[in-house]
Amino acid sequence: MNEKTAKSEVIVVESGRKFMPAITAILLGAFLVIGVGFAHSDTIHNAAHDSRHSFAFPCH
Amino acid sequence: MFRRIFATALLAGFFAGLGISVVHEFTTTPIILHAEQFEGQPAADGQKQSAYKNPLLILAHGKSGGDAKDEHEAWGPADGWERTFSTTLANILLGIGFSLILVACYSLSTGTIDGRVGVIWGMAGFGVISLAPALGLPPEVPGALAAELAPRQGWWVLCVAATAAGLWLLVFRKGAVWVIAGIVLMALPHIIGAPQPARIGGNVPPEIAGHFAAASMVTAAIFWAMLGWLSGTFWQWFEERS
């Protein structure tokens, strides 16, 4: 393994350390927002009804 | 990093969701309840009435609606504390969801984040999530006439994605080309245009609808300012502890 390969591996590991938690958080956050604000299930819609209107999500 | 992001997002999202629930209780919720009184009434114009045969409109109002005893109705919170609790829970989950995205941006940013900087990020969230889509799809009271739900949701997602990308180009890229690209991206969803209803003129008086649109935007600004400050403060606090 030459020095260049070692360096690029360090960069990959470092960027993975930075991006993986951020991407996980963004995906989980989007899942929550879509679940509460967009899910077509009647029960979720009814439960989150006033919240959807107040946050101006497209509703009904 | 995982722990710091999730701890910050959970705490900030919980408190911002709880805080905005108190604000909603005195601002948007009374207007929603007021609008619902008009929603089930027959319209003065016979043509308008047909638009209210959408079952979702009736389902949305739990046990207070005239057709509430329909066997096929999905569960809905009863008016009173159950509805307040349900809305508060939804607000907290939304708070945590938005907070996770906001804090993920902190973790990627190179600058120092504290409560004050968090408010600036929060205002960007307000612009992307609340202001930009409201230009095409203004906040609606229950009973407002609107286009089909799925295309409106699709346009909303497009608008949020394009505005976020456009704003990122404007703020973080240097050079006139990026500025122009950012502006074009932000304008694009509005040039395409949001789905609009074939007819307008619902039962809810326009004074109530107008008041609600303003109240929704004002409370959204309060929410994002709170979320930004809380998440920035907790982010810094967890940095000092680690």
For the stretch B144-185, pLDDT in tens is: 889 999 999 999 999 999 999 999 999 999 999 999 999 999
Residues 6+ apart with CB under 8 A from B98: A29, A33, B13, B125, B129, B227
Q: How many CA atoms lie within 13 A of B183 on its CB side?
A: 5
Pairwise CA distance, residues A54 & B21, whole Å: 10
pLDDT of residue B195: 95
Q: What pLDDT is recorded for position A8? A: 63
Helix (H) or strand (E) run with residue B218 in it? helix B206-241
Domains held by chain A: number: 1
pLDDT value of position A60? 80
For residue A60, is it within any domain?
no
B241 confidence band (pLDDT: 50, 70, 90): confident
The average confidence (pLDDT) of chain B is: 88
For B73, phi and psi rounded to 5 degrees? -70, 135
Residue A10 buriedness (CB in 10 A; 0-12 / 13-18 / 19+): exposed
d(CA B163, CA B154): 14
Give residue B193's pLDDT: 96
- Can you give the pLDDT at residue B201? 84
- Spatial contact of B120 and B16, defined as CB atoms under 8 Å apart: no
- Per-residue confidence (pLDDT) for residue A6, from 0 to 100: 63
Amino acid B235: pLDDT: 96
What pTM value is reported for the model? 0.86
Choose among B129, B120, B121, B103: nearest CA to B219. B129
A10 within a domain of the structure (yes/no): yes
Q: What is the pLDDT of residue B39?
A: 83
Q: What angle do CA B32, B34, B37 make, to 5 degrees?
A: 110
Length reported for chain B: 242
In chain A, which residues have their Cβ closer than 8 Å to the Cβ of B127?
none
- What is the mean predicted confidence (pLDDT) over B43-72? 45
Q: Which of A29, A35, A47 sits opposite B98 (nearest CB)?
A: A29
Q: H or E stretch including A60? A: none
Among candidates B56, B87, B108 on the partner chain, residue whose Cβ is nearest the Cβ of A51 = B87
Given this model, what pLDDT does residue B51 score? 43
Give the pLDDT score at B47.
Answer: 44
B39-48, B106-115, B156-165, B189-198: segment of lowest average pLDDT: B39-48
pLDDT of residue B125: 98
User: Is position A11 within any domain?
Assistant: yes
At residue B53, the pLDDT reads 42
DSSP helix, strand, coil percent of chain B (3-state; round to 5): 75, 0, 25
Name the interface residues of A facing B (CB cutoff 8 Å). Answer: 17-19, 21-26, 28-33, 35-38, 40-43, 45-60
Smallest Cα distance from B140 to chain A, Å: 6
Contact check, Cβ <8 Å, A43/B93: no
Amino acid B62: pLDDT: 40
Q: Are B140 and B146 in contact (CB under 8 A)?
A: yes
Find chain A residues with C-beta within 8 A of B97's C-beta. Answer: 28-33, 35-36
- How many interchain CB pairs under 8 A, A with B? 159
Asked if the C-beta of B225 comes within 8 angstroms of chain A's C-beta atoms, the answer is: no
Nearest to B153 by CA among A30, A37, A20: A37
Q: How many percent of chain B have pLDDT more than 90?
A: 76
pLDDT beneath 70: ranges in chain A: 1-15
pLDDT, residue B200, reads: 87
- Tell me which residue range forms the domain holding A38: 3-55
